[in-house]
Amino acid sequence: SSSNFSPFLSSPDQTADALFDYVGQSILGRTLLIHVVSYCSVSPLTIVSQTISTELDSFSLSPSLPRPPNHNVPLSIKPPGVPPSSSADWLRNHGLKAKRLGLYQVLSPNAYSLLEGFVPILNKTVSSTVHEKAMVQFEWHDGTVKNVHVDLPLIYHYQLMSAVAVLERRVQWLSSGSRQIWGTVCEQRVVIVVDMSMMIPGFSLHIQHSLRVLLEEQLANKHSFNIIAFGSAVRAWRERLALTSPENLQEAWQWVQGLQCSGSRNTLAALRLPLERDLNSGGLYLFTSGLPDQEIATVSSYVSECCSGRPLRLHICLLTGEETEGQTEAQTGGFPPPRHATREETAGALRELAQAGNGRFHWISETGILESDDITALIGEMERAANYWQKVRLEQHGEGRVLNSSNNNGLHTDLS
């Protein structure tokens, strides 16, 4: 009997099955022990780093904020396209009212006023009658009653449904690429303000990636831009707005890659830097995970004063995750956790802040978009189209009279 020690520096050339079969036959009937020592030349720090990287890759922040394999390579900047617009502006040109597809606009080509006249030969006043299979009486928005003929297939397939299909395509477009994270960046002068506090230390790589796709997809057609990162302290990529160029976008991305989470959430100081320095018009896009250190009423009052009377808007992009709720000071680097414990309360306060800045609110989580002013406006327009269709169907079945004056007033207000 004996022992055999075999040091291995790497995997053998042979397959594992062939090696096991040979060893099994060789020691059959013998008292022979084979010990294997494997020597690893990889640094323990490298192993830990690879483990952390693997865990981050599997972190379920997916479909909104994936970590691509080309995270460290130069930007792949998309050519400038047509300048985007908010859904509110877009609907002014492409909504139901713009396409003359409001309820009364749809019915008006086949709506006729009641006719009444004196017939000399009969020596009396005669009123027109309605054939129930051809027309029905429908109460109009001004209180009058009209005789209406409705071609349901024409209205449904060639008018309302085609309009709804356009709205659905825009919703899909808003839910793709960097727009899923940031919404649409519409202004020509843009300042991106990014929360890099210790409140969300596990999100730093994903915040960097969010900035990367924004630089690649939405800033190439802008006039000028800047990026500001903040925790307790505030850092800016440039002291002033820089002209948008491929070189400046690449330089900004290199700067973003050096950002690390630190400190608390000094949102007010981060907003004051561009508002009091060089941004008199354009858009501020605040990407944050929660409420500022300061009272939200104080921040809202300041933002409202700065944006009042100027072509300047503050848009809020809120990122929330499971780890941002119920945090302790140990989890936030020794800084007090957010005052509001729930995501809904945080979203409500930041929604009001966006309204104070005449901007839009956009809320995402690990699962995707939770709320978007741009998408909400489009869904409201689709619901309005469905409401029109329902009223047209009621009208065709002779139930048009159910529209009383209060319904007409409300509907007329929606169309104005």
Q: Has residue 302 been placed in a domain?
A: yes
Number of domains present in the structure of the chain: 3
Question: Is residue 330 predicted with pLDDT exceeding 60?
Answer: no
Tens digit of pLDDT for each residue in 217-276? 999 999 999 999 999 999 999 999 999 999 999 999 999 999 988 899 999 999 999 998
Q: What is the pLDDT of residue 89?
A: 94
Q: Has residue 270 been placed in a domain?
A: yes
Q: What is the pLDDT of residue 22?
A: 81
Q: 352 with 394, same domain?
A: no
User: Could you tell me the CATH number of the domain that includes residue 310?
Assistant: 3.40.50.410
Average pLDDT rounded to a whole number, residues 181-204: 90
HSE toward the beta carbon, residue 282, CA cutoff 13 A: 18
Q: 339 with 206, same domain?
A: yes
Question: Is residue 59 predicted with pLDDT exceeding 70?
Answer: no
3-state SS record for the chain: CEEEEEEECCCCCCCHHHHHHHHHHHCCCCCEEEEEEECCCCCHHHHHHHHHHHHHHCCCCCCCCCCCCCCCCCCCCCCCCCCCCCHHHHHHHHCCCCCCCCHHHHHHHHEEECCEEEECCCCEEEECCCCCCCCEEEECCCCCEEEECCCHHHHHHHHHHHHHHHHHHHHHHHCCCCHHHHCCCCCCEEEEEEECCCCCHHHHHHHHHHHHHHHHHCCCCCCEEEEEEECCCEEECCCCCEECCHHHHHHHHHHHHCCCCCCCCCHHHHHHHHHCCCCCCEEEEEEECCCCCCCHHHHHHHHHHHHCCCCEEEEEEEECCHHHCCCCCCCCCCCCCCCCCCHHHHHHHHHHHHHHCCCCEEEEECCEEEEEHHHHHHHHHHHHHHHHHHHHHHHHCCCHHHCCHHHHHHHHHHHC
Average pLDDT rounded to a whole number, residues 2-27: 69
Q: Kindly indicate the confidence band of residue 131, based on its pLDDT and cuts at 50, 70 and 90.
A: low
Q: Has residue 277 been placed in a domain?
A: yes
Q: What is the pLDDT of residue 414?
A: 30
pLDDT winner (highest mean) among 90-104, 122-136, 300-314: 300-314
Bridge partner residues of 7 (DSSP):
37
Question: Is residue 287 predicted with pLDDT exceeding 90?
Answer: yes
Indicate the average pLDDT of the chain: 77
Buried-state track 136-163, b at ≥16 Cβ within 10 A, e below 16? bebbbbeeeebbbbbeeeebeeebbeeb
Amino acid 360 reads R
Question: Is residue 326 predicted with pLDDT exceeding 60?
Answer: no
Q: 401 with 284, same domain?
A: no
Q: 159 with 250, same domain?
A: no
| Token digits of residue 15 | 């397959």
Q: 199 with 133, same domain?
A: no
Q: What is the pLDDT of residue 150?
A: 62
Q: 132 with 235, same domain?
A: no
Q: 130 with 227, same domain?
A: no
Q: 351 with 264, same domain?
A: yes
Q: 331 with 263, same domain?
A: yes
Q: What is the pLDDT of residue 14?
A: 76
Q: 33 with 151, same domain?
A: no
Average pLDDT rounded to a whole number, residues 325-351: 66
| Choice among 115-119, 256-260, 269-273, 329-333 with the minimum mean pLDDT | 329-333
Q: Has residue 383 been placed in a domain?
A: yes
Question: Is residue 112 predicted with pLDDT exceeding 60?
Answer: yes
Q: Has residue 72 been placed in a domain?
A: no
Q: What is the pLDDT of residue 163?
A: 84
Q: What is the pTM of this model?
A: 0.69
Nearest CA to 287 among 230, 344, 217, 331? 230
| Token digits of residue 363 | 């809320």
| Choice among 70-74, 123-127, 131-135, 215-219 with the minimum mean pLDDT | 131-135
Average pLDDT rounded to a whole number, residues 54-65: 41
| Choice among 145-154, 179-188, 356-365 with the minimum mean pLDDT | 145-154
The span from the CA of 157 to the CA of 161, in Å, is 5
Range of the domain at 27: 2-38
Residues 6+ apart with CB under 8 A from 217: 78, 177, 178, 179
Question: Is residue 415 predicted with pLDDT exceeding 90?
Answer: no
Q: Has residue 369 been placed in a domain?
A: no
Question: Is residue 63 predicted with pLDDT exceeding 50?
Answer: no
Q: Has residue 95 been placed in a domain?
A: yes
Nearest CA to 216 among 262, 173, 179? 179
Question: Is residue 167 predicted with pLDDT exceeding 60?
Answer: yes
The answer to whether residues 402 and 395 touch, using CB atoms and an 8 Å cutoff, is no
The answer to whether residues 90 and 186 touch, using CB atoms and an 8 Å cutoff, is no
Q: 155 with 256, same domain?
A: no
Q: What is the pLDDT of residue 9?
A: 54
Q: 113 with 243, same domain?
A: no
Q: How far is the CA of 7 from the CAs of 37, 66, 306, in angstroms? A: 5, 41, 71
Higher pLDDT, 379 or 326: 379
Q: Has residue 402 been placed in a domain?
A: yes
Q: What is the pLDDT of residue 171?
A: 94
